[in-house]
Structure 1
Amino acid sequence: MIGAGPVLEAKPDRRALVSVQGLVVRYGPITALRGVDLEIGAGECVAIIGPNGAGKTSLVSAIAGLVRPAAGKVVLDGLDVARIGLADVVRSGVALVPEGRNIFGSLTVAENLRLGATPRKDDRIAPDIDEIFQRFPILGQRRSQHAGQLSGGEQQMLAIARAMLSRPRLLMLDEPSLGLAPMVVDGVYELLADIKQQGVALLVVEQNATRAFGLADRVSIFGHGAIQLSGAPDAIAADTNFDAAYFGAAYADRGAPA
Structure 2
Amino acid sequence: MSAPVNPPAGACLVDVQGLVIRYGGVAAVQGVDLRVHEGEAVAIIGPNGAGKTSLVSAIAGIVPPAAGTIERAGMPARGQALSDVVRHGIALVPEGRNIFGGLTVLENLRLGATIRRDGEILSDIDAVFGDFPILGERRDQPAGQLSGGEQQMLAIARATLSRPRLLILDEPSLGLAPAIVDKVYALLRQIRDRGVALLVVEQNAARAFALADRACVMSRGTFTLTGTPDEIRRQESFDAAYFGVAMSAGPGVP
TM-score category by the smaller chain?
A: over 0.9
| CA distance in structure 1 between the partners assigned to 2:52 and 2:8 by the alignment | 26
Letter of the 1:87 partner, please give it.
Answer: S
Residue 92 of structure 1 corresponds to which residue in structure 2? 88
Deviations 1:40-95 (A, max 9, x none): 01111000000101000001100001111010011111111122111111111110
Residue 160 of structure 1 corresponds to which residue in structure 2? 156
Aligned 8 A contact 1:22 1:73 in 2? yes
Residue 20 of structure 2 corresponds to which residue in structure 1? 24
Shift of 1:138: 1.4
Q: 1:248 to 1:79 in 2, by over 3 A?
A: farther
Aligned 8 A contact 2:9 2:37 in 1? no
| CA distance in structure 1 between the partners assigned to 2:42 and 2:107 by the alignment | 31
Residue 39 of structure 2 corresponds to which residue in structure 1? 43
Residue 7 of structure 1 corresponds to which residue in structure 2? none
Aligned 8 A contact 2:30 2:222 in 1? yes
Decide which of 218, 225, 228 is 2:221's aligned counterpart: 225
Deviations 1:187-239 (A, max 9, x none): 00000001111111100000000000000000000000000000000010110
Residue 75 of structure 1 corresponds to which residue in structure 2? 71
Shift of 1:248: 4.6
| CA distance in structure 1 between the partners assigned to 2:8 and 2:167 by the alignment | 21
Shift of 1:166: 0.3
Letter of the 2:205 partner, please give it.
Answer: A
Letter of the 1:16 partner, please give it.
Answer: C
* Secondary structure in structure 2 of the residue aligned to 1:199: coil
Matched, 1:195 2:191: yes
Name structure 2 gaps, 5 residues minimum: 1-6, 247-254
Q: 1:158 to 1:50 in 2, by over 3 A?
A: same
After TM superposition, the structure 1 stretch with the greater mean CA deviation from structure 2, 130-139 or 48-57, is: 130-139
- State the superposition RMSD in angstroms: 1.2
Residue 98 of structure 2 corresponds to which residue in structure 1? 102
Decide which of 115, 132, 135 is 2:111's aligned counterpart: 115
Aligned 8 A contact 1:46 1:216 in 2? yes
Name structure 1 gaps, 5 residues minimum: 1-10, 251-258
How many equivalent residue pairs?
Answer: 240
After TM superposition, the structure 1 stretch with the greater mean CA deviation from structure 2, 203-212 or 130-139, is: 130-139
Name the % identity. 67
TM-score for both structures, normalised by structure 1:
0.91
| CA distance in structure 1 between the partners assigned to 2:147 and 2:9 by the alignment | 43
Matched, 1:205 2:198: no
Aligned 8 A contact 2:8 2:37 in 1? no
Shift of 1:13: 3.4
* Secondary structure in structure 1 of the residue aligned to 2:139: coil
Letter of the 2:231 partner, please give it.
Answer: A
Matched, 1:34 2:30: yes
Deviations 1:110-161 (A, max 9, x none): 0000000011111110011111112222111111100000001100000000
| CA distance in structure 2 between the partners assigned to 1:40 and 1:55 by the alignment | 18
Flag as ranges the 4+ runs of structure 1 deviating above 3 A.
Answer: none
TM-score for both structures, normalised by structure 2:
0.92
Decide which of 48, 54, 69 is 1:52's aligned counterpart: 48
Residue 66 of structure 1 corresponds to which residue in structure 2? 62
5 Å-filtered alignment, 1:131-170, equals 131-170=127-166
